[in-house]
Amino acid sequence: MQSILAVDDSPSMRKMVSFTLTGAGYHVVEAVDGQDALEKAETHNIDLVLADQNMPRLDGIGLTRKLREHPKFKTIPILILTTESSDQMKQAGRTAGATGWLVKPFDPNRLIEVIQKVIR
Amino acid sequence: MAETYQEGSGAGADFDLSQFYQIFFEEAGENLDQMEQMLLNLDLSSANDEELNGIFRCAHSIKGGSATFGFSDVAELTHQMESLLDRLRRHELQPIPQMVDVLLESADASRSLLARHQAGGQGEAVSTTSLVRRISDLAAGLVPGDTAPVVAAPPPSAPAPAPVAAAPAPKPSSSSAPGQARQLEIQIGPLDRPEQADAIKELFRDIPGLGAIRDVPGSPPNTRVFAVETTSTNDDLLDLFAFHVAKEQVLIRDAAGDGSAGPDDEATAAVDTSGGEAPYGFFNGAPGAPHGEATQAVHAPAPQAPKAATRVAAEPKAAMQAQMESTTIRVDVKKVDQLINLVGELVITQAMLAQNSRGLDAGAYQQLLAGLADLDRNTRDLQESVMSIRMIPMSIVFSRFPRMLRDLANKLGKKVELVTLGEATELDKGLVEKITDPLTHLVRNSCDHGIEMPADRLAKGKSEHGTITLSASHQGGSIVIEVRDDGRGLSREKILSKAQERGIEVSEQMSDAEVWQLIFAPGFSTADEVTDVSGRGVGMDVVKRNIAALNGSVEIDSAEGYGMKVSVRLPLTLAIMDGMSVGVGEEVYILPLSSVVESFQVNADDVSTVAQGSQLVKVRDEYMPVIALEKIFQVPRFDLNKSSNIMVVVEADGSRVALLVDELLGQHQVVVKNLESNYRKVPNVSGATILGDGTVALILDTGGLVRRARH
């Protein structure tokens, strides 16, 4: 079973994402912010990271940068969840090494659809 | 936009989002509380980024959640708040009091909207139209009643609040297309020390492939101008520079261009935004991006970019407030109460075992007795730990006052500062809930009646700002909460004349403490006029009654012209208390240890009988009423030769009475069982407990006994 690291500081969003993905047959590891995600990524086998952009301590793009530094996470897909699909955000995401982005709010089915496009 | 919301609410047919509503409501409530607190603490003249980011994040989280779960009204309002906060945290606007006001009002409105959703659409509809307009005016830099915009920094190009998830209109610019080397002129400044810009030069040296940089002589004062050749986009450069200089201090010009473009005009142009409204997208060539799926024509960055990012990431991110989330769990209070109840039963069982084993031979039952000693210790520890679960810090109560005082002071035209002390002091949850209303009353009174108008204060040589201090501390087995103000204090004359008007018996000889107690009389108010805040005379008597119901007491201290202090003393918990057991005939009664003053053997000569058979005892030149428990509870006496000859002096409501008992049995912790809910209210009894030998003992209501003696 493939593992997805779901990172969001909002418990309700985390639950929703986690529920959706678990229902679609993925194993979900939850993290409450970027810093927590780094720690969880170390200790779990992660196939994809789904990170909220706006979080305390370490945001989604910061997390992406940190993960990409690590050989283990050089190639795994990292998707950023954001409420603003602004160019600046995209540019920052791409520069940091993110795979793509998904605009909040999103439909659970859309989430699965996007995930299935990138996870192998 | 609208369609984006619907996307959220209309979620996939096979997904029922309503199961997440409750958790979202709780989370949104916490975010609103946090936001409110941060807004109140915000110092407008020196708001720092961390604070502004924190407030922004609260609004942002609520917006994200409410949009996802389909509460579009909340999403719309919080989106407006977010837009304003976003401009504040980017320092594009100066924070002003009107913004704090409108944000606080919006937080209230969001709360009402959420409450309505939580109740399934029940309740009054809240209109947010005017709030939304006020916020968007402020976000556009318009100050109500003032035509000058409050825009800080360089005027932004697009202040209009964009609806959720909308991208700004694309601003195509050929000059910054990535992938090919470009000649730029970058101006850094104004800087306090122009050497700061050397760090920018170092960036180009440290990051291979970023490009070439050289100084351009003849810069304006306090600025540096560089000629740069690079393949990176302006955005990349700005991101990199941001670690050394503020974005506003950077001006990137196309060396061949017109030279007028500011960062706002060019910076966003680096990305092809053809799909700006797309709900998702992948970056071409990014790790894991599906082939032929890249919906966004975002070109792969110049090879040096990831390297640059590495350097950026090496900068330590300030660890903000630690997340409590992962270390706490939410539990239904009922479960905790059940646990406490079970521990209470265990304490009783343990006490029974201890009592029954007392006569056992220590040699023959060595192991059993050792086990019982262990059980005793473990039970005590368990009891303490379980009780601590219900304990919550006073900050929960205190946190509501800054907002309340702010509104109140504004309404009354007063200037009031609130100081809170001992917020970490813990109190039983049940008590916290019940103490909130009385405390609110006291704080309101202090602000309304205590603190003078700013002009009056200045005339009296006081500072313009009045101070109300709320403090909580542990003192022995109780918690003491004080509400102190440096206002006008109580007026002895006013209270006495008011009391006389109301037909209360008073005399000039009354001590201050006795005079202050008069304000607890029902309907008593010394306010010259009734305001809509307080002064209607419903107040102090209710306060006192509520606190007495919690086994607590209220004391007042005041100095006219200097302020007053109201101290509320409460037991730490309602469930377990220290008691003194006394014997009368065959019966055992428990007295709350906190109310016991002293005990002594009494000689018949010391007791004098006055009118109607009442008895008085003289203790160190002070007469106090005697109450024979034997009579009050009609205890049957089988041994007629024996009579009560021990007095226990108890104090309540500032008065003392001497209780006549047969013997003092000991002191111990008792688990309080409510008599009222299990049987009915019994006069002079506040509850019951089960003793070590399994018998039931009544806990005496000392307050009731004192009142009885007075009449």
How far is it, in rounded angstroms, from Cα B576 to Cα B388? 12
* Closest Cα in chain B, distance from residue A37 (Å): 12
For residue B24, the chain A residues in CB contact (below 8 A) are: 12
Instruction: Name the more confident of B279 and B299.
Output: B279
**Interface contact flag, B286 A94, Cβ < 8 Å:** yes
% of chain B with per-residue pLDDT over 70? 77
Give B 49-88 residues with CB within 8 A of chain A: 54, 57, 60-61, 63-65, 67-69, 75
Number of domain units in chain A: 1
Confidence of residue B10 (pLDDT cuts 50, 70, 90): very low
Residue B16 CB partners (closer than 8 Å, separation 6+): none
Mean pLDDT lowest for which of A80-94, B49-63, B559-573, B647-661? A80-94
Cα→Cα distances B475→B419, B423, B470, Å: 20, 15, 16
Residues of B with Cβ-Cβ distance to A36 under 8 angstroms: 323, 326
Burial B449-487 (b: 16+ CB within 10 A, else e): bbbbebeebeeeebeeebbbbbbbeeeeebbbbbbbbbb
**Average pLDDT over every residue of B591-618:** 83
- What does the pLDDT look like over A50-102, one tens digit per residue? 999 888 888 888 999 988 888 888 888 999 988 776 777 788 888 888 888 88
Domains and CATH numbers, chain B: 18-149 (1.20.120.160), 182-299 (3.30.70), 334-390 (1.10.287), 395-571 (3.30.565.10), 576-710 (2.40.50.180)
B139 phi and psi angles, rounded to 5 deg: -65, -25
**Is the pLDDT score of B324 beyond 80?**
no
pLDDT at residue B13 tops 50: no
- What count of Cα atoms within 13 Å lies in the side-chain half-sphere of residue B97? 3
Ranges A94-103, B13-22, B590-599: which has the least confidence? B13-22
Check which CATH number belongs to the domain holding A21 and give it. 3.40.50.2300
Residue B273 has pLDDT above 80, yes or no: no
Per-residue pLDDT of B402-411, as tens digits, reads 888 888 888 8
Tokens 């406490």 label which residue? B340
Distance CA B306, CA B302 (A): 9
- Is the confidence at residue B250, as pLDDT, over 60? yes
Judge whether residue B147 has pLDDT over 60.
no
Please tell me the predicted confidence (pLDDT) of residue B482: 92
Mean pLDDT of all residues belonging to chain B: 76
The residue-averaged pLDDT of B118-138 equals 82
Distance CA B585, CA B636 (A): 7
Q: Residue B683, Cβ neighbours under 10 Å: how many? A: 9
**Segment B442-482, tens digit of pLDDT:** 898 888 888 899 999 999 888 888 999 999 987 766 788 99
- Chain A partners of B235 at a C-beta cutoff of 8 Å? 87-88, 91-92, 95
Return the percentage of chain B with pLDDT > 90, whole number.
6
Q: Given the DSSP bridges, would you call strands B655-661 and B622-628 parallel, antiparallel or unpaired? A: parallel
- Under 8 Å CB-to-CB from B73, ≥6 apart: which residues? B113, B128
For residue B301, the chain A residue with the least C-alpha distance is: A95
Domain around A54: 1-116
ipTM of the complex: 0.79
pLDDT of residue B321 exceeding 60: no
Three-state SS at B480 = strand
What pLDDT is stored for residue A88 in this prediction? Answer: 77
Residue B309 pLDDT exceeds 50: no
B173 touches chain A (CB under 8 A): no
Which of B259-263, B361-365, B685-689 is predicted with the least confidence, judged by mean pLDDT?
A: B259-263
Higher pLDDT, B687 or B169: B687
Which residues in chain B touch residue A96, judged by CB atoms under 8 angstroms apart? 309
Q: How close B187 gets to chain A, by Cα (Å)?
A: 21
Nearest CA in chain A to B54: A56
The type of residue at B179 is G
Q: Can you tell me the mean pLDDT for B347-375?
A: 87
Q: In the predicted model, is pLDDT for residue A10 greater than 80?
A: yes
pLDDT in the model for residue B590: 93
From CA B632, how far away is CA B438, in angstroms rounded?
33
Please give the pLDDT value at position B5.
38
pLDDT of residue B636: 84
Tell me the range of B336-350, B369-383, B516-530 where mean pLDDT is highest.
B369-383
B291 pLDDT tier (thresholds 50, 70, 90): low
What is the pLDDT averaged over residues A3-24?
Answer: 88
- H/E stretch holding B445 reads helix B429-445
* A105 with B267: Cβ contact below 8 A: no
pLDDT digits (tens, 9 = 90+) for B194-249: 667 777 777 777 666 677 787 777 666 677 788 888 777 777 777 777 666 776 67
How far is B300 from B281, CA to CA, in rounded Å? 14
The answer to which of A33-42, B447-456, B613-622 has the lowest mean pLDDT is B613-622
Most A CBs within 10 A among B280, B295, B317, B327, hence the mutation to make, goes to B280
CA atoms of A94 and B305, how far apart (whole Å): 9
Between chain A and chain B, the number of residue pairs with CB atoms below 8 A apart is: 210
pLDDT at B302 over 60: no
Using a CB–CB cutoff of 8 Å, tell me whether B279 touches chain A. Answer: yes
pLDDT value at residue A50: 92
pTM of the full predicted structure? 0.48
Residue A112 to chain B, least CA–CA distance (Å): 11
